[in-house]
Amino acid sequence: MLNGKPGVSATTRQTVLAALDVLGYERPTRLRRRSAGLIGLITPELSNPIFPAFTQVIEQVLTRYGYTPVLCTQTPGGSTEDELVELLVERGVTGIVFISGLHADTTADTERYARLTGQGVPFVMINGHSPGISAPFISPDDRAAMRMAVQHLAGLGHRRIGLAVGPVRFVPVERKLEGFAEAMRGWFQLDPAGLSELVQHSLFTVEGGQAAGATLLDRGCTAIVCGSDLMAFGAIRAVRARGLSVPGTCRWWASTTRR
């Protein structure tokens, strides 16, 4: 089978070759798969565990279909998204996947993606769906997530439910705010002033979540909805610093998307 002779089904051949790859053996030269092309993956960072998780799954799928992934990560003081795109286009990539990129920032100019389309480079967006960008999107329903979170916590008996979330300029944050406000009005008939003191903006970090959580606890919240897992970790720190427990005195629902 490994010498490429006929008489072996395609399914069996592929299964054996996949086993070789998993075990770390090198494929025979004639059976090495030619790359279908390079696909760029642009992520904002790798310190937030959600982005390596996204990247790993995407790379596995690309490899399965014969593509070679090229990971590009933005770092403070490093290359910008535009510079990484330019680099990938110069390398002749077949396509680009943007994970929580500038498309999710309402203050960013989306014309950059129209220009990329004009260059004939297909791309896919992860998180932060924007109707103004003509591209395939994979995004969670942030409004529905907030409605589910509030319903869950209200069902547990909570009335002072806080929201710890990131900067308002991000599309998912806007939609989380809309869903949270809608749910809180529906359950507790809160006015805008009552809602505003239950929302605390911070950074999508452990430290940001801890600061936001502490502020919401000071405002009498007994449950907190968090905008990311990292913020939830920080909020839990704030709770435990008060001698409270999670779950226990407070219960939590954490949304796992950043922006």
Task: Please state the pTM of the whole predicted model.
Answer: 0.78
Percent of the chain with pLDDT over 90: 66
Q: CA-to-CA distance for 145 and 148, rounded, in angstroms? A: 5
Q: What is the pLDDT of residue 252?
A: 45
Residues 85 and 127 in one domain: yes
The predicted model gives 175-193 an average pLDDT of 93
Last residue of a domain, one of 115, 138, 161: 138
Query: What does the DSSP assignment read for 86-120?
Result: HHHHHTT-SEEEEES-GGGBTTS-THHHHHHHHTT
What pLDDT is stored for residue 77 in this prediction? 77
> 37 has which bridge partners?
67
* Domain presence at residue 66: yes
pLDDT for the residue 23: 65
Q: What is the pLDDT of residues 131-151, one digit of tens each?
A: 889 899 999 999 999 999 999
> Which structural domain range is residue 6 located in?
1-32
CATH of the domain at 157: 3.40.50.2300
Q: Mean pLDDT throughout 181-205?
A: 93
Query: Confidence class of residue 83 from pLDDT cuts 50, 70 and 90?
Result: very high
Report the distance separating Cα 30 and Cα 36, nearest Å.
Answer: 16
The tokens of 30 are what? 């004639």
Residue 259 is assigned to a structural domain of this protein: no
Asked if 132 contacts 103 with a C-beta cutoff of 8 angstroms, the reply is no
